[in-house]
Chains A and B, each alone.
Chain A
């Protein structure tokens, strides 16, 4: 059983399109996250939700909109895709709190042409 799953694994699309990435966790965690791995291989937090409520929103363009229909799901919708959005996007979940391990999904590799 996969703990944190993401779909799709790969996404190739044209500039200007709108796309979504889905994330689901079956760990019963309250908190979910979206991270972006940039070109320098840094993992940077984008968003965090706790029990369907947004708690972290880093300085991310408003073309990116997370949606959490329930606490087991956190989807990422991206409008008007740009070349610079090409990256690997990771979803993660945890019980929340400083000493709680975050469990990562397999990543979605997005390529914008």
Chain B
């Protein structure tokens, strides 16, 4: 059974704080890692797709890194804002499908 684990499960930060969380995945047979942002009562929205070891992706204040050899990816949010409050999901592409982690629920307080 392939496990995709995310930590922490939840995070509460003050507006302006920078934060990061981790996605761990199997390091063998790596194809791709996807990051999604999921706001309450909405559908998951893609942030990044990462395929190469050492990949770094950035979108505004959000960035992600990838280490396929050790099986982890970090997502960073610089200067968190209340609108960043959401669940951040990573998904490991295994052969022919995405296997999702349970997500990190981020709450940013003004």
**Chain A residues in contact with chain B, CB under 8 A?**
4, 40-45, 48, 55-56, 58, 90, 98-107
Contacts and interface: CB of A to CB of B under 8 A. Distances in A.
Contacts of A58: 97
Contacts of B109: none
Interface string B37-77: 00000111110010100000000000000000000000000
Interface stretch (B18-26, B78-86, B98-106): B98-106
Size category of the B interface is 20 to 34
B32 A41 contact: no
7 contacts: A4-B43, A48-B96, A58-B97, A90-B44, A100-B49, A102-B98, A105-B43
Interface in B3-49: 31-32, 34, 42-46, 49
A4 B42 CA distance: 12
Contact of A56 (B43, B51, B91, B96): B96
